[in-house]
Structure 1
């Protein structure tokens, strides 16, 4: 098949959707498909073997948000950003005669559907969140198929668009994310002894990721160090909260950590904390951690209950509840045998998210739409 994976931020940012596109492209290419990634001009220089990367200029959403009427119109600013890239990308979408144009955001529906009319390609809408805007419902109902990263997200999409997407969980590379020995140098670099519990958060530092809850929970957890792997706009506020609570010495900001270095982190810490309370439709961090044999304490929100087997590979707690988070963490830190049992069960549970199974399901969707007239 000749496949276009079309998503502006794949080539400009790092995140769950972006990693999904790179990994999917690599896996499809390994199966003999001709795969192009179409994204925006940016600083990200990642490559995938056998995959062609095409980039196009665009006008950033920040430009549009400088206009008073768009200052708080987040969805509309993102839509305009995407449409400016589409002006440059549309000739390629048509000329290359793709069989499949796979989108990751509904902001790209209009150019993809126009390319379908001009080239005969089939359009697949990938659903990862709630990126809705005025007019998207009319466009979305004209795609050839849709896939969603979780049942939680599929229900949200069904409520908006009136159809149920095929649920295809995001995938992980189990050759990278697998159990391995702890990194003996990590505790040295952090300046902590082997007896101090290490709690880990991995992700972008946005308010809705709930890292504030994890910091506040430290007040109820003896000695533990919270290691934060990620960066973002919320970092200064989080650092200020830690200082106000008197726990700043127990919070370590590592900044952005390359994905290939995450398995060593997962192998060395005691628990992963996943604390989101909004916009979390899947949860790639908890899946990667479990594949490495690390138990998870996550909020009972969004896609987390689908990717964490409660009582078998981790625990679920109410969102934005530091006391509940601390109680769950303390229960596991005080019971090494139970924590070891969760860790032992985690890799087998996470195996269902391995890329071969995910790509099998995506290929089935592609084949099905190509067989329809």
Structure 2
């Protein structure tokens, strides 16, 4: 299959830091089953060439400036080329222009969250119209598939899902016993819905029963005021927190290995939660909010804990203290977390399932054309 992937307009593929969508594109296409070829169009940055080729993967990078300009440059760059299927990542608003440029090529929109199918990014009416240009809509979790079906019932029959994955060779347990107090970790964007204030308050409560515990927080934010607010909150609570900032992707495996347990206190719908499988692959139990696609990854009492009352810091604190006090419980959950990551969430599995889904869609489309 010859596949074209159009990335969002913000970050190149592969990303240097951040860029979860762009990282997913890079990870999946690096593990395509034999016989497939892919062209990826993404934003151009000076530190990467305009074109690079690695085996079956060709990366084309074009100027941006705005969504409209980026998309025009992307379509101009691939004009005249033929593809079996086109994948648009997380930008349903691109679908009409792509359909106009490739009227006979099947289009899949790969959604990584509801963000770009919801206000304020778009309206339900506009997103519904955009999805009409897609032959397939793919979510990254069963939860996201159900959310898309609920919001856009006219497109139910063409909405599917494929779980994301993790590089289990890169993200792995340290194999060494850590010194110092039991350390909790958080990684993610520093935005209100990720729940870092809830984590800071939970950490303070847990320290009352286990004073030796520690906390490290990694992630960036485009708003300096919010970063300052989090630091002020930590000082006001008088808790020892290491704010690591926005770490380059290559440093994330070492970050996970620096801790004992990962906490994901998301306060709003989390479509998948890639950080959770990265933490699990690193041998960390996960304490996470019971929302969105998280329960598809974190199994309560098996590889971590799910917190139902995730708006309550005390609910997280209870599980944090329980894990920190019980080496045997930690060992059991840690080993199972690694095992589950290896078994269910490898990138090779994600790539294989996605290409199977596309092959089936192409087969169905071909059969439909023959009956007309």
CA contact (8 A) 2:18 2:249 kept: no
Distance 1:43 1:339, change over 3 A: farther
Distance 1:156 1:319, change over 3 A: same
CA contact (8 A) 2:182 2:260 kept: yes
TM-score of the two chains, using structure 2 as the length reference: 0.85
**Which one scores higher on RCO, CA 8 angstroms, separation ≥ 6?**
2
The count of corresponding residues between Structure 1 and Structure 2 is 338
Which one of the candidate residues 146, 156, 161 is aligned to 2:147?
Answer: 156
String of CA shifts for 1:249-272, please: whole Å, max 9, x gaps: x11011222333333332331110
User: For the aligned residues, what is the CA RMSD?
Assistant: 2.1
CA contact (8 A) 2:93 2:130 kept: no
Which one of the candidate residues 217, 220, 236 is aligned to 2:228?
Answer: 236
Residue in structure 1 matched with residue 162 of structure 2 by the alignment = 168
Distance between the aligned counterparts of 1:49 and 1:225, measured in 2? Answer: 42
Tell me by how many angstroms 1:359 deviates: 1.3
Are 2:1 and 1:9 aligned?
Answer: no
Instruction: Give the match's secondary structure for 2:232.
Output: helix
Which one of the candidate residues 68, 86, 108 is aligned to 2:71?
Answer: 86
Tell me by how many angstroms 1:304 deviates: 1.0
Instruction: Give the match's secondary structure for 2:321.
Output: helix
Are 2:181 and 1:196 aligned?
Answer: yes
Tell me by how many angstroms 1:183 deviates: 8.2
CA contact (8 A) 2:96 2:133 kept: no
Are 2:101 and 1:115 aligned?
Answer: yes
Are 2:326 and 1:335 aligned?
Answer: yes
Are 2:271 and 1:281 aligned?
Answer: yes
CA contact (8 A) 2:269 2:291 kept: no
Tell me by how many angstroms 1:43 deviates: 5.8
Q: Which runs of no fewer than 5 residues in structure 2 stay unpaired?
A: none
Distance 1:52 1:183, change over 3 A: farther
String of CA shifts for 1:31-51, please: whole Å, max 9, x gaps: 342222211233674978333
Which one of the candidate residues 95, 101, 115 is aligned to 2:86?
Answer: 101
After TM superposition, list the pairs within 5 Å mapping 1:21-40 onto structure 2: 21-28=25-32, 31-40=34-43
String of CA shifts for 1:163-208, please: whole Å, max 9, x gaps: 1522200121122122332486xxxxxxxxx341211001121111
Residue in structure 1 matched with residue 44 of structure 2 by the alignment = 41
String of CA shifts for 1:290-327, please: whole Å, max 9, x gaps: 11211010011111111101110000112222111111
Which one of the candidate residues 203, 208, 215 is aligned to 1:226?
Answer: 215
Distance between the aligned counterparts of 1:14 and 1:183, measured in 2? Answer: 29
Are 2:194 and 1:209 aligned?
Answer: yes
CA contact (8 A) 1:9 1:18 kept: no
Which one of the candidate residues 310, 314, 318 is aligned to 1:319?
Answer: 310
Higher percent of residues as helix: 1
Residue in structure 1 matched with residue 300 of structure 2 by the alignment = 310
Residue in structure 2 matched with residue 180 of structure 1 by the alignment = 174
CA contact (8 A) 1:200 1:272 kept: yes
CA contact (8 A) 1:197 1:270 kept: yes
Are 2:134 and 1:128 aligned?
Answer: no
CA contact (8 A) 1:226 1:251 kept: yes
Which one of the candidate residues 108, 133, 143 is aligned to 1:142?
Answer: 133
CA contact (8 A) 2:88 2:109 kept: yes
Distance 1:43 1:159, change over 3 A: farther
Find runs of 4+ consecutive structure 1 residues off by over 6 angstroms.
none
